[in-house]
Homo-oligomer: A and B are copies of this chain.
Amino acid sequence: MVEKSKKERLIQASIKLFAQQGYHNTTVAEIADEAGVAKGTVYWYFNSKEELFWGIIVSRIESINEKITEEVSKINKTAIEKIGTVIRLQLNLFKDNKNIVKMIHESSFSPGENFYKKMQQLRAIGINSVAKIVKEGQENGEFVVDIEAEELANFILGSISGSYNPSVYKLDKVEEKTDLILNIILNGVKA
């Protein structure tokens, strides 16, 4: 079929609108409208507006976490190369899902306890994977050893998303940006 399923259309419409206008400023009616379905149809596929929002967020983060985890287990790559891949994965996520990044941004403030915990878990999973890479690098002499692996992982992941700033970074040059960030993280800024 060329025609997308109504559920898929609802998800796309949600991503677009939530990102553009924020969760609270987007109505279920608007989403249905944008997706070209009736309001009631939203509730045929999703139990609530919250579930719709968080379902999207969680699925995307899980997807990138999976990719990172995958990267960790590769044996024919150095730790440095793996960190490079992590950066590239994140930047590509940002590039391909500008709207979702915005949604994740917003989600950092929790509408509900349940989802907040879920988000914490997801972040922990990501950090954990990167920490494994770091440990590997520390063990084989690629990385400095005077900093705890987990703290380093936290810094790395944080600096990628923290430094992601649409008004500064033009994300059409992912490779370039990856090199830049990796360069700073590896060598620092001192002359």
Contacts and interface: CB of A to CB of B under 8 A. Distances in A.
Q: How many copies does the complex hold?
A: 4
Contacts of A175: none
A187 B185 CA distance: 8
Interface residues of A, number: 52
B189 A186 contact: yes
Interface of A is mostly: helix
Interface string A1-37: 0000000000000000000001011000000000000
A142 B191 contact: yes
Interface string A131-152: 0001000000111110100111
A135 to B, nearest CB: 12
Contacts of A167: 120, 124
B165 A162 contact: no
Contacts of A186: 188-190
B163 A159 contact: yes
B22 A110 contact: yes
A112 B26 CA distance: 11
Given A108-B105, A147-B184, A184-B188, A163 B165 contact: no
A50 interface: no
Contacts of A189: 134, 143-144, 147, 152, 156, 185-186
Contact of A163 (B162, B169, B181): B162
15 contacts: A22-B110, A22-B111, A25-B112, A80-B190, A106-B106, A106-B109, A123-B165, A127-B168, A156-B189, A157-B162, A159-B163, A160-B162, A185-B189, A186-B189, A187-B188
